[in-house]
Structure 1
Amino acid sequence: MSAEKVAVDHPPASDPETGSNSENAPPLDTRKLLMKLDLRILPVLSLAYLFAFLDRVNIGNAAVFGLSKELNLKGTQYNFALCIFFIPYILLEIPSNALLKKIKPHRFLSGCIFMFGLTTVLQGLVTSYGGLLATRFFLGAFETGLFPGAFYLLSMWYRREESQSRFSFFFISTTLASAFGGLLASAIGKMDGVRGMLAWRWIFILEGTMTCVFAIGSYFTIPDFPEDVKWLNEQEREWVITRLRGDVGSSGRETPAVKWKDLKVIFTDYKYILGAVMYLGFIVPAYGFSYFAPTIIKGWNYTPIEAQLRTVPVAMVAWVLAMATAYASDWMKHRYWFIIFCSSITVIGFAVLMTTHGNRAVQYGGLFMSYPGAFSAMPLVVCYFQTNLAGHTRRSIGSAFQISFGNLGGVIATFIFLAKDGPYYVTGYSVCIAFTILTMVTSTFYVIGIRRENKLREAGLAGIVVENEEDEGEIGDMSRKFRYIL
């Protein structure tokens, strides 16, 4: 067995905060090393998800520039084109996380990015409804691996108490995608007629090309698991692995692949179902905004370009609120009440939109409450569930299941804002309120359940006890020593 293998399997005893060990190596500057991790990991993964979300929802920008008219879409055909994206996206989430461990993350994720960028370009060249459906289907297939894979990868680098702000920074690149997409679409809208093509085609072609270029660079910059990266020295690598060993278990490189029998945990542990439903509740309003906000605002008698630009401030407010709640959540080491707070803002905002008609200023104010509230709470519920899982197998399955099940909300969102319901969209706003309340209810059941489990473990009445401390890792959150963050 090589010296490197011994160092990974049995690292010297060390202080997880200072990095000092039995060999009297000089202590690490942990603050500086965390900043090094942040700069190496967060920007590239956040940009990757920004491009993914931009390519996923830019069809909403394209819709106000003549997509439906040129492709002669009738009735709910546009909604079906949105919906078909989610079929492969949902079905392939768990297999994609299994592939991530077989193929190094930098190869797998950069390959996904390039392929969905290329598919976006092709979406700009379609000439029929069938062609639009085909490109949307393959877009969902290629995007499916990025989000759960990136979340899983992040969880292999950061401890639970420092994860929410990092996860939110990554997650709310979606709000930046909405802001950037609105600005870019308003500029591309002026290319209408260039080379004989309408502006909506240029939105797909140019944004897809940008994604492909980014994918090439991401191959060299997306990190792998801590055991594999070359930009950590041995002392830094030992520090990262040691401080996470008790939190997430054994090395991602060492643990066996997920087997079919492992999936039974989805149906035997109530936390998996509640975690997935919590996420589902916020997916509906979030995708409602992402796909239909330009159309909703245009219905208030704004021009297409004005409608695109007015989505930008809403998205930026969402970014600020999400980061503020994330940092506060990490500082207080608490999630539940922040979810309830953001949910309440969301419900009030949709109530304003549903009941106020003809007053553009008040309606626009409703947007500044509903969508920032939903976008701020989404990373909270994802991080709440996933950082309360430990062990590679349980966390890998849990992250993929929560995202795949939750994205059923995307299917629902594509059919709640129908053209015939405009400009008031009472049905759409009502459904968004209902699903937000669903998240409030399920998150309440979740916190009651994990609080009870914590008390039982304190009393020695629950949790698995093992004699070999090294086995604690894969048992993960089922261990009696594990405590859930509320």
Structure 2
Amino acid sequence: MDSKWQHGIGPDTDMDGASAPQEEERINPRAEHKLLLKLDAVFVPIIMLVYLSCFLDRTNIGNVKVAGMPEDIKASSAQFSTAISIFYATYVATETPWSVLLKKLTPRFLLTALCVVWSLTTIFSGFVTNVGGLYAARLVLGACEGGLFPGLNLYLTMVYKREEQAKRVSYLFVCAAISGAVGGLLAYVLLKMDGVAGQVGWRWVFWIEGVASIAIAPIIWFGLPNDPTNAYFLNEEEKRLMRIREKQRAQYMGSEDFSWDELWIALKDFKLWLSSAIQFCQNILLYGFSTFLPSIITSMGYGSLQAQYMTIPVYVIGGVSFLTLAYISDKLRVRGPLIAFANIFGIAGYILIICPTSNGVKFFGTFLCSIAVYNGPGLNLTWLNVNFAPHYRRAMAIGVQQSLANTAGIVAGQIYRTPPYVLGNAFSVGALVLVQLLIGWQWLYLRRQNSKKEKIESGEMEDTREVKTGDRELDFKYHL
């Protein structure tokens, strides 16, 4: 294949659907592959480490729940469920503002500051003595962590092309799976510190995980440049290639200047609201499963410490399945059908847990659930990422989708209340059935929009659309 043709794309358009640069600015595929490997080698470990830390600090409340925290702070079952849910009140309220402000405040400053504050909050959670203190800590934690996931996700769109993103977004959700595995292992080890220095084990979980998180803040500051095209670890030739890639993605990234019009266009876009509804249903699984898996396993008859390490292989299967489907998704540029495929496993898994089967079969069901738990939200977020342009339209879409969808965390805290959690698991099955219909609707809507663009481009239909820029341009093809 001639090296001047990038990935076999023809002379008129690149893979983002934008007008291609001049021929002398084409990138040799081998050089681009080498560049991507270098970008991944530096950015991916940092992003994964930060999100791993964030998710550990968020979900460790599920580990300490079975270790006696509610009894020690005299919290009833309903109060502790409220403490889990209240986190999402500030979390969802801050996601859109943080997402839109990322460029203005700069990724380095914003993400570092948020990391410092949520880490300190985790440490202080270990000193909580009553329900009011736990409520306060969870509210602050939510306000800080609300900016991290949209920020990291938006940062990835500043570095990678549309057809490169599912794989990178998968790393974030793999971190959620890893955090479950690591969280269970850490909790198992740290809870054995019960009695050390006269303190109960669950306090050590907060203190040690909080200290570990705050140590990551300098890594964010020095590791994530505000301008990825001029990253400190790139040589001059690689920076030149990054500038060419930036030109190729001009339609996808758009102007650097803030625009209220772009925010408004995003809010009026029907595919944003469909995507948000899908994400809400998928997040009911994500938050219910990741927070309550130790409790679900305990309800099967296993001991609390045993439940901690039994979560590890479940999370591993969830992470590996997502890496596999994300790779396929980018390769084929197919999104919706793969989400629906992963959800089939989830439906089967929850049914096995609910039905009067043996504990071994129920435990096997958790492995099937994990496939839907991580693939669904991750691939759907990628589906949103690649179909919104330019930057501020996409920033608004990501923020709104995540804000609305993460209210599912409030639902998860209320439906998983008492063992054996039949209500929570049954609710999750219902969410999966509903989301399959929504995925089909979104897929048909996007296919219709692509068909409409083709008819306008060929002259079969008059172009009466109000918005014709960014992802509405005729040569911007939506990923299905």
Question: Structure 1 length as normaliser, TM-score?
Answer: 0.89
Match of 2:208 among 194, 206, 211: 206
Match of 1:65 in 2: 67
Contact 2:21 2:248 in 1 (8 A): no
2-side partners of 1:463 and 1:380: how far apart?
31
Work out whether residues 347 and 369 of structure 2, in 8 Å CA contact, stay in contact via their aligned partners in 1.
Answer: yes
Identity of paired residues, percent? 32
Instruction: Give the distance between the partners of 1:118 and 1:403, measured in 2 at CA.
Output: 24
Which residue of 452, 459, 472 corresponds with 1:478? 472
Find the residue that maps to 1:186 and give its secondary structure: helix
Q: Which residue of 2 aligns with 1:434?
A: 430
Q: Which residue of 2 aligns with 1:273?
A: 273
Cα distance in 2 for partners of 1:15, 1:117 equals 48
1:36 partner letter: K
User: Which segments of 5 or more consecutive residues in structure 1 lack a partner in the other structure?
Assistant: 1-10, 20-26
Task: Please give the per-residue CA displacement for 1:114-165, whole angstroms capped at 9, x wherever unaligned.
Answer: 1111100001111110000000000001111110011011011111112111
Residues 191 and 201 in structure 2, CA contact (< 8 A), matched pair in contact too: yes
User: Aligned match of 1:96 in 78, 95, 98?
Assistant: 98
CA contact (8 A) 1:180 1:312 kept: yes
CA deviations 1:430-483 (Å, max 9, x no partner) are: 1101112222111111110110111111111477999xxxx99xx310111110
Match of 2:369 in 1: 370
Residue 128 of structure 2 corresponds to 126
The structural deviation recorded for 1:256 is 1.9
Aligned residues: 457
Deviations 1:18-50 (A, max 9, x none): 26xxxxxxx972111111111121110111111
Secondary structure, in 3 states, of the residue corresponding to 1:84? Answer: helix
Partners in 1 of 2:197 and 2:397 — Cα distance? 48
Residues 447 and 352 of structure 1: is their aligned pair in 2 closer, same or farther, counting only changes over 3 Å?
A: same
Aligned equivalents of 2:463, 2:256: Cα separation in 1: 22
Q: Give the whole-Å Cα distance in 2 for the aligned partners of 1:376 and 1:230.
A: 33
Letter matched to residue 256 of structure 1: D
SS at 2:415's partner residue?
Answer: coil
Instruction: Give the distance between the partners of 1:82 and 1:464, measured in 2 at CA.
Output: 48
Aligned partner letter, 1:415:
Q
Choose which of 29, 32, 54 in structure 2 pairs with 1:30: 32
SS in 1 for 2:433: helix
Q: Read off the aligned partner of 2:383 and give its amino acid letter.
A: Y
Structure 2 residue aligned with 1:257:
258
Determine the C-alpha separation between the residues in 2 that align with 1:15 and 1:156: 23
Relative to 1, partners in 2 of residues 1:481 and 1:372: Cα closer, same or farther, differing over 3 Å?
same
Distance 1:396 1:463 in 2: 27
Say if 2:182 and 2:312, in contact at 8 Å, map to a contact too: yes
| Partner of residue 39, structure 1 | 41
CA–CA separation in structure 1 for the residues paired with 2:104 and 2:453: 35
Q: Which residue of 2 aligns with 1:313?
A: 313
Residues 428 and 31 (structure 1), Cα distance of their counterparts in 2 relative to 1, 3 Å cut: same
Q: What is the CA distance between 1:313 and its match in structure 2?
A: 0.6
Deviation at 1:251, TM superposition (A): 5.9
Q: CA deviation at 1:224?
A: 2.2
Give the Cα–Cα distance (whole angstroms) in 1 for the partners of residues 473 and 325 of structure 2. Answer: 30
Match of 1:407 in 2: 406
**Deviations 1:97-117, CA, capped at 9 Å, x for gaps:** 122111221121111111111
Letter in 1 for 2:116: F
Query: Unaligned regions of 5+ residues in structure 2, if any?
Result: 1-19
Structure 2 counterpart of 1:392: 391
Q: Which of these residues, 13, 16, 25, is aligned with residue 22 of structure 2? A: 13
Contact residue 281 and residue 439 of structure 1 kept, 8 A: yes
Letter in 1 for 2:212: M
Deviation larger for 235-244 or 314-323? 235-244
Greater mean deviation of Cα atoms: 229-238 or 452-461: 229-238
Tell me how far 1:285 sits from its aligned partner.
1.0
Q: What does residue 232 of structure 2 align with?
A: 230
Q: Which residue identity is paired with 1:367?
A: T
Structure 1's 236 and 147: CA in aligned 2 closer, same or farther, altered over 3 A? Answer: same
Could you tell me which amino acid in structure 1 is paired with residue 393 of structure 2? R
The residue that corresponds to 2:7 in the other structure is none
Q: Distance in 1 between matches of 2:187 and 2:464?
A: 54
Q: What's the CA shift for 1:318?
A: 0.5
Q: Would you say the 8 A contact 1:247–1:476 is kept in 2?
A: no
2:52/2:176 contact within 8 Å kept: yes
CA pair 399-196 structure 1, distance change in 2 beyond 3 A: same
Give the CA deviation at 1:87.
Answer: 0.8
- Equivalent residue, structure 2, for 1:341: 341
Query: Aligned letter for 1:273?
Result: W
> In the alignment, which residue of structure 1 is the partner of 2:282?
282
Query: CA distance change for structure 1 residues 405 and 248 in 2, over 3 Å: closer, same or farther?
Result: farther
Give the Cα–Cα distance (whole angstroms) in 1 for the partners of residues 26 and 56 of structure 2. 38
| 1: CA distance, partners of 2:464 / 2:319 | 40
Q: CA deviation at 1:226?
A: 2.7
Q: Secondary structure at the match of 2:215?
A: helix
- SS of equivalent residue, structure 1 residue 156: helix
Which of residues 455, 460, 464 in structure 2 aligns to 1:459?
455
Amino acid paired to 2:436:
M
Query: Please, which moves more after superposition, 35-44 or 177-186?
Result: 35-44
- After superposition, where does 1:164-175 map in structure 2 within 5 Å? 164-175=166-177
CA separation in 2, counterparts of 1:90 and 1:128? 25
Structure 1 CA distance for aligned equivalents of residues 224 and 303 of structure 2: 40
Rounded Cα–Cα distance in structure 1 between residues aligned with 2:139 and 2:269:
32
Distance, in Å, in 2 between the alignment partners of 1:245 and 1:445 is 34
Aligned equivalent of 2:331: 331
Aligned CA distance change for structure 1 residues 250 and 360 (closer, same or farther; 3 Å): closer
- 1:22 aligned residue: none
- After TM superposition, give the deviation of residue 233 of structure 1 in Å: 4.2
Mapped contact 1:175–1:318 kept (Cα < 8 A): yes
Amino acid corresponding to residue 18 of structure 1 in structure 2: I
Deviates more, 1:140-149 or 1:213-222: 213-222
RMSD (Å), alpha carbons: 2.2
Deviations 1:249-274 (A, max 9, x none): 3767x522253x54433542110101
Kept after mapping to 2: 8 A contact 1:464/1:478: no
